[in-house]
Amino acid sequence: MALKIIFMGTPDFAVPILKSINESNHSILEVYTQPPNKKNRGLKKYSSPIHQYSDQIKLKVRHPKILDSEEEIKYFSDLNPDIVVVVAYGKILPSKLLNLKNILFINIHASLLPKWRGAAPIHRSIMSLDGETGISIMKIIPKLDAGPVMLTSKVKIQKETNFEDLSKKLSILGSKMIIKSLDLIMNDKAKFIPQNESNASYAKKINKEEAKIDWNVSAKLVISKINALNPNPGTWFELNGNRVKVTKAIEIKEMGKPGVILNKNFTIACSENAVQILELQKEGKQKMKAKDFLIGNKLKVGVNISSHV
């Protein structure tokens, strides 16, 4: 017997998972996503990646601004789903919705719960130099990402892993795990295991100021932040009054006062070792190799860039 599913998701990360469900024998009743956003100076409205994909495969899409109005709760209830699958929807589901009878709400979360509950688990796992992360599929309860876990699967985080690479890998993993999960649920074989609250940690949303490079930490931590925030929002510092986003860098075993330019190869000292910038992007410009940037921009060796902001 196929399950009747409401899917709730928004970014690119959720697309392979929706695709996997759509290609299974389960039935998608409707797709919920965030409303179109206005972007750029023209303020043109852009639909979410999930909205665009749903339009392509002709799935019904709904994007309410609020979920807990009587009208919205009734509409949702009248769809009469067996399961609601939530993947990076971007909004906490209200208790009124979660309390609807005979509906199981499950979430696909990009961490090994209870570690890194919250909005930015992929970023935080890279920034914290974690050796591994993964996907957890859990039952949704009113407390954020705290519900009992049904399935987990791990992936390694390599030294050079960036957000984009890890996000794609986890999304593909989630697209496989969701089918296994739905089959277990359909056959009454799903087991939900409570999380250990004492091991919980939170992955708060990344803000733009946090993306600024602090040279007073180790080179390893600077590079982990560069990788974690690539491509967005991007890790940056100021050089000659201009904001420079760093997209690729390596650790170099050189020492100096943190923030000082050590040589003409764009090597900058940290509290431990140094970072050599390999690829960067100036505001309003295309991404470029550091060696090409240096052709038209001479570095002043010995200058402390952290004191020239």
Amino acid identity of residue 107, one-letter, is N
Query: Which residues make Cβ contacts (< 8 Å) with residue 157, sequence separation at least 6?
Result: 125, 126, 130, 131, 132, 133, 166
φ and ψ at 234, to 5 degrees? Answer: 90, 140
Q: How far is 240 from 204, CA to CA, in rounded Å? A: 32
Question: Which tokens in the block code for residue 268?
Answer: 């900058």
Q: Is 252 helix (H, G, I), strand (E, B) or coil?
A: strand
Q: What is the pLDDT along the chain (309 residues), one digit of tens a residue?
A: 799 999 999 999 999 999 999 999 999 999 999 999 877 655 677 899 999 999 999 999 999 999 999 999 999 999 999 999 999 999 999 999 999 999 999 999 999 999 999 999 999 999 999 999 999 999 999 999 999 999 999 999 998 999 999 999 999 999 999 999 999 999 999 999 999 999 999 999 998 889 999 999 999 999 999 999 998 899 999 988 889 999 999 999 999 999 999 999 999 999 999 999 999 998 888 999 999 999 988 889 999 987 654
Q: pTM, whole model, 2 decimals?
A: 0.93
Q: What is the pLDDT of residue 309?
A: 44
Q: What is the pLDDT of residue 241?
A: 84
Amino acid identity of residue 275, one-letter, is V
Which one-letter DSSP state was computed for residue 73? H
Residue with tokens 């795990």: 177
- CATH architecture of the domain 4-199 equals 3-Layer(aba) Sandwich (3.40)
Is domain 209-307 given the CATH code 3.10.25.10 in the classification? yes
Domain spans of the chain, in order of start? 4-199, 209-307
Bond from prior residue into 94 cis (ω within 30 degrees of 0):
no
Q: What is the DSSP string of 263-300?
A: ETTTEEE-SBSEEEEEEEEETTS--EEHHHHHHHS---
